A and B are shown apart, each in its own frame.
Chain A
Amino acid sequence: MAKTVNPDARKVGALKERQEKFTTLSGVPVEPLYTENDLKDFGYERDLGDPGEYPYTRGIHRTMYHGKLWTMRQFSGFGSPEDTNQRLHYLLKQGQTGLSIAFDLPTLMGYDSDHPLAEGEVGKCGVAVSSLDDMETLLAGLPLDRITTSMTINSPAAMIWAMYLVVAEKNGADWKHISGTLQNDILKEYIAQKEYIFPPGPSMRLVVDSIVFSAKETPRWNPISISGYHIREAGSTAVQELAFTLRDGIEYVDWMRRAGLDVDDFAPRLSFFFNSHNDLFEEIAKFRAARKVWATVMRERFGAKNPRSWLCRFHTQTAGCSLTAQQPYNNVVRTAIQALAGVLGGTQSLHTNSLDEAWALPTEHAATVALRTQQVIAHESGVASVADPLGGSYFLEKLTLDTERACYEYFDKIDAMGGMVTAIEKGFPQNEIHEAAYAYQRAVEQKEKIIVGVNDFVTEEDRPVDILVIDEAIARRQREKLAKLKKKRDSAHVQRTLEALGGAAKTDRNLMPYILECVRSYATLGEMCHVLRKVFGTYEEPAFR
């Protein structure tokens, strides 16, 4: 490393600065210049290591994207299972390399399409799936033994996963070979996205049951994707996203160990999911710190011996909350910068948002531009040729160290409260996020933070883009399908499987085999959740004052 030329290089003298303070998007102050002096305690082996070496700051693979590019995995789902099935086939034809399914709100909340609370919501934010019948339609013609599928589902994750497994079984795909990811991260629901059904205890039991089942039956499946994405969308800072996500990870490991598993039996299948926001260096630092902190936690805190248990493998999605309804074509640029951060940060898979998503779910055209953005980064920009190409940058290394330190400070606070479940019951992460979101909103309204096209560079414009409209007829067709299914199936058998599920829920038996039996009998998602609501009760969050 070259010596610093001028120790006072930071002092800009009489120059008038163009704004009062310079901070990252998350409000962390930044200096005008970083030098060797900022990295006095920095050691290559301790803080970085080569790519593929502990603590994996520089990446989980030795050659990173030389062997294989990241998986281009566009999250998709809307309308009926037929509609989404068509979109999935279309995306595969366009060169997408993995599937990712979005479910509608009734499905996420464990209600069938014919439930009164589902009115107006069916197929709006994702695809409606109420039974095995819908799942069979959704996955028709897709080679489940050759593609990997990610499913964004949490409270009723075990039921939706069981539907996927039964479809695979019917198609002759071996459970030992199928691969994919179940989001199944209930803790961040209480913290941020708020799609919870049951109280934390029984919810955690469902998560533990599915991870235990997966470790035995589906060795190539990722039974959980511990997610910071939604925490960030709810308004957290980059550090809060990282700290709460990894602390959630620690909580799951604690619960799994309490269930009697050895850490190396399940830790290699834990996966993560992060947001990539507008501030390029802050995001890259976050991704690098994530790998380093997780590797250290797994080896030092939990004594994991298998190096695969140390790896923080993660999916990245560009920041939905950064998209503007105004001048929506600017969103292509934002998304490209955020996607670049994900790639420079060493992500394993990536979703790029579409330009029209501040208005609605994307049209096919907008979704194609989003996928093309990844393809341009992969094949034209050159950034995928070198592992951790920004490693050694004074600024980036300092930011990575600071992010790591701030993350451990949150761990200490949450540990002192007795863990994440207690912290959630106290409203701690929720309040931290709300404070950050409010501070950001004020900074935007005072123009301390500029959003192009929103609080500066504003233009008068007509309706800017065509948007996707979900036809209300979909809800009617879904209701009709359910009525037909309920006539056709063996009701007495359905009743027996549901009663068996309810009975098992009162014991500590693993619920996955019972849920699979319900699914095979064509019991609906709503029926299964109803049985469990009766046993487990439901959750209301502490009041917001």
Chain B
Amino acid sequence: MPDRRIRIIVAKPGLDGHDRGAKIVARALRDAGMEVIYTGLRQTPEQIANAAVQEDVDVVGISILSGAHNTIIPRICQLLRGAGMEDVLVIVGGIVPDEDITGLKESGVAAVFQPGASTQEIVDFIRSHVKQAA
């Protein structure tokens, strides 16, 4: 059992303002007992990686519906690795077509939750995959 609550940053990169999903997921994770930091809208990859380091999170959850995921998400993963956060669990939710998932996973994403995914699936995935620093 982890000796502290799971810490997660819910990040909203890209130019779109559709925050319905990000806010619902943030709240569901909080209800599931996790500590959630929501970044707000239109964060750059640099801002997201910096926040992840500063908040010392276990999980980075990225919500994106703008279609720019193939440009933005690999960059976030690279910045996280560069900052020594190799163990952080990166998950993605939003409008991501099937054919883009392999590429995102190769860049370091652990899972992509597509439209229709339930918040319970997300909670379960995080609990079974998170690696917490001692």
Which residues of A pack against B, CB within 8 Å? 105-106, 108-109, 111, 117-121, 124-125, 189, 193-196, 233-235, 321, 324-326, 358-360, 434, 437-438, 441, 444-445, 451, 454-455, 463, 467, 470, 540-541, 543-544
Contacts and interface: CB of A to CB of B under 8 A. Distances in A.
Contacts of A324: 115-116
Contact of A437 (B23, B44, B72): B23
Contact of A470 (B15, B18, B38, B67): B67
B79 interface: no
Contacts of A124: 66-68
B98 interface: yes
Interface in B89-126: 95, 97-99, 114-116, 118-120
Nearest to A475: B71
B20 A437 contact: yes
B68 A108 contact: no
A324 B117 CA distance: 11
10 contacts: A120-B67, A121-B14, A121-B66, A195-B17, A234-B20, A325-B116, A434-B27, A441-B24, A441-B119, A543-B38
Nearest to B25: A441
B55 interface: no
Given A124-B66, A324-B115, A438-B24, A193 B95 contact: no
A235 B21 CA distance: 10
A119 to B, nearest CB: 6
A444 B99 CA distance: 27
Interface of B: 14-20, 23-24, 26-28, 38, 40-42, 44, 66-72, 95, 97-99, 114-116, 118-120
Which of A111, A125, A189, A437 has most chain B Cβ within 10 Å?
A125
A445 B120 contact: yes
Interface hub of B41, B67, B69 (most chain A Cβ within 10 A): B67
B40 A120 contact: no
Going nearest first, the 3 A-B pairs with the smallest beta carbon separation are A194-B17, A120-B71, A120-B68
Given A193-B18, A194-B17, A438-B27, A120 B98 contact: no
B112 to A, nearest CB: 12
Nearest to B12: A194
Contact of B116 (A234, A454, A544): A454
A121 B67 contact: yes
A141 B67 CA distance: 30
A544 B16 CA distance: 17
Contacts of B41: 194, 541
A451 B15 CA distance: 29
Main SS at interface, chain A = loop
B114 A325 contact: yes
Contacts of A454: 116
Contacts of B26: 544
Nearest to B10: A544
Contacts of B15: 105-106, 108-109, 111, 117-118, 121
Given A105-B14, A438-B27, A359 B40 contact: no
Contact of A541 (B40, B97, B118): B40
Contact of A359 (B17, B95, B118, B120): B95
A125 B66 CA distance: 7
Given A325-B116, A434-B27, 7 more contacts: A111-B15, A119-B71, A324-B116, A441-B28, A441-B119, A541-B41, A544-B38
A11 B27 CA distance: 39
Contact of A121 (B19, B68, B116, B118): B68
B67 A463 contact: no
A455 B18 CA distance: 23
A450 to B, nearest CB: 13
Contacts of A434: 20, 23-24, 27
A106 B67 CA distance: 12
Which of B15, B24, B98 is most buried by chain A, counting CB atoms within 10 A of its CB? B15
B23 A544 contact: yes
Contacts of B42: 109, 117
B134 to A, nearest CB: 29
B23 to A, nearest CB: 6
A445 B118 contact: yes
Contacts of B16: 105, 125, 195
Contacts of A444: 118
